[in-house]
Amino acid sequence: MATVRVEFDIEADAESVWKVISDWASGPVRMAPGFVTESHEAENGDRVVTFASGAIARERFIALDEDRRRVVFSVIGEAVQPTHDNASMQILPLEADRCRFVWIHDVLPDAFGEPMLATMQAATPVIQQALRAR
């Protein structure tokens, strides 16, 4: 199983960043505008995310931990169809106006790891910019 991980700091308070990340339906558009062009909750509770490239990902909600500011989900289909995916995003407070974004995917087959990491790295500066305190 490939494990890919991206961590980066955001110049904003953890609670305001968490409000965006924890928004299951529209969080992806709010956290990565332009990189993600559409995000909505499907009739069965899955999330459908459309990227600027035209790729579409279907994601299944797994868990939300408000105390730890952590959301867990799985990519389950559309453009990417792993046999297994477990993803999490967590927001860790560092200072009053600075937090750390921790994003992890455990994915099978292993070959999905490298393109998954490349997408996560490409999204990083967009997320940092979008969520930075104004």
For 84-127, the pLDDT digits (tens) are 999 999 999 999 999 999 999 999 999 999 999 999 999 999 99
Place of tokens 């967009």: 126
> Regarding beta strands 47-51 and 36-41, do their DSSP bridges make them parallel or antiparallel, or are they unpaired?
antiparallel
CATH architecture of the domain 2-19+60-131 equals 2-Layer Sandwich (3.30)
Residue 32: how many other CB atoms lie within 10 Å: 25
Domain boundaries, the chain: 2-19+60-131
Q: Is the dihedral of CA 36, 106, 76, 113 positive or negative?
A: positive
- Give me the torsion for CA of 24, 26, 31, 33, rounded to 10°: 160
Query: Could you tell me where the DSSP H helices lie in the chain?
Result: 14-21, 27-31, 113-131
Largest CA distance in the chain: 40
37 is written with which tokens? Answer: 């062009």
pLDDT digits (tens, 9 = 90+) for 44-78: 999 999 999 999 999 999 999 999 999 999 999 88
